[in-house]
Amino acid sequence: MALTRRRFLLLAPALAAAMPVSRARDGSGTLAVWAGQPMQNGHEDGPGTRAAFFDPRGLARDPHTGDIVVADAANALIRRVNLHGEVTTLAGAATRRTSRDGAAADARFVGPDAVAVGDDGTIFVADSYANTIRVLRDGTVSTLAGRAGEPGYADGRGTAAAFNHPVGLAVDPGSGDLLVADAYNNTLRRIDRDGRVRTIGGAAGVADHRDGPLASALFNTPVGLAVGPDGTIWVSEYFNHDVRRIGIDGMVRTVAGAADAAGDVDGKGAAARFRKPQQICVDADGNVIIADGGNHKVRWMTPDGEVRTLAGQGLLDRFEFGPLPGSLVTPYGVAPGPGGSVIVSSAQALLRIDRPD
């Protein structure tokens, strides 16, 4: 029986715990541990490998500081990692999984899966297992939209809106609106600054694939969102195994991969293959970085759809650190890191990929 995305992600950390770590062979570029301890869960703050996470998932780069904000899902925490790998907790209490607004230290999350950071430093959180969108601003957590513990589908303002496992988040740089990949509703949603939610693409309850005008496009479990410097919106789809582009003209196009065709192939456009891609980000040059979770790889894609493997060998039984391609387990979140690097969440740790010159 095929695993649902939620069940697969719940099992992944336990499956990784028995996997040995080995060293990589020669190559160009490197894969290394940046923060946390692979295959060892915990909730300690501190520098580098002295820190600990429990199922870290979505990552986002703070545009002002360059720090990485982390949705530490099983710990129910929002964490920050500075440029030197020092980890601090911003909000929540470790493993106390409930939904509560208030001062950051007193606030609680159920299962944060993704984060995004606005130009003003506001942190948006997809509290996916609570089916809500939360906001951390000026040391206080509030619920922007959705009703805790009530999966559903409804547009509207604040608690009048409903989501079903919202995952990917991205801030629209033009309007400041928040874009949401509402995974189990198979829709893309937009939340304005007043907390009003509207559906901009996909049809609730319809898991399919259709390109064309955004209003009539169809999606199947969209989980990753990123916005490029030109306003292009990028979407990764877990069960369509592809990456889609929403242009500034409002047209949806499949740029790489093919719906219902999972695989592991570098190449261009429909010749490329992904397997259950997770979250995505856009680098400084407008290229898309993809956590290709089912293939245990991180992939790199040009805006016109040329895909190549950045890190990972598709191995299921070990990590390899050192020269690329290295090996990693079930990558989930990706974000631009210090010095042009890529930060990846994988099996209780954050890894750093320093790309070839």
Q: Which of 10, 20, 24, 11 is nearest to 354 (CA)?
A: 24
Q: What is the pLDDT of residue 295?
A: 97
Cα 93 from Cα 337, distance rounded (Å): 26
Nearest to 231 by CA among 307, 177, 268: 177
Whether the per-residue pLDDT at 21 is higher than 50: the answer is no
H or E element, residue 70: strand 68-72
According to DSSP, residue 303 is labeled T
Residue type for 236, please?
S
How many Å apart are CA 157 and CA 104, to the nearest integer? 23
pLDDT, tens digit, 9 for 90 and up, residues 312-335: 998 776 899 999 999 999 999 999
**Structure confidence at residue 17 (pLDDT):** 42
E strands along 178-303, which residues?
A: 178-182, 187-191, 196-202, 212-213, 222-227, 233-237, 242-246, 251-257, 267-268, 277-282, 288-292, 297-301
Amino acid 14: pLDDT = 44
Compute the average pLDDT of residues 204-223. 98
Computed on alpha carbons and rounded to an integer, the radius of gyration of the chain in Å comes to 18
As given in the structure block, the two tokens for residue 336 are 């631009």
Give the pLDDT of residue 95. 81
Mean pLDDT of 71-84: 97
- Whether pLDDT at 15 is above 60: no
Give the residue, 357 or 311, on which the prediction is more confident.
311
- pLDDT at site 28: 80
The answer, yes or no, to whether residue 7 has pLDDT greater than 60, is: no
* Residue partners of 57: CB distance under 8 A and separation at least 6: 9, 70, 71, 72, 73, 112, 113, 114, 279, 332, 333, 345
Placement of tokens 């409002």 in the chain? 250
Q: How crowded is the C-beta side of 256, counted as CA atoms within 13 Å?
A: 30
* pLDDT one-digit tens code per residue, 222-239: 999 999 988 999 999 999
pLDDT single digits (tens) 237-269: 999 999 999 999 999 999 999 998 999 999 999
Please say whether the beta carbons of 24 and 322 come within 8 A.
Answer: yes
Residue among 345, 356, 357, 332 nearest 33 (CA): 345
Confidence of residue 96 (pLDDT cuts 50, 70, 90): confident
CB neighbour class for 95 (10 Å; exposed up to 12, middle 13-18, buried from 19): exposed
Across the beta sheet with 156-157, the strand order is: 156-157, 196-202, 187-191, 178-182, 166-171
Distance CA 49, CA 11 (A): 23
Task: pLDDT band for 4, please (50, 70, 90 cuts).
Answer: low
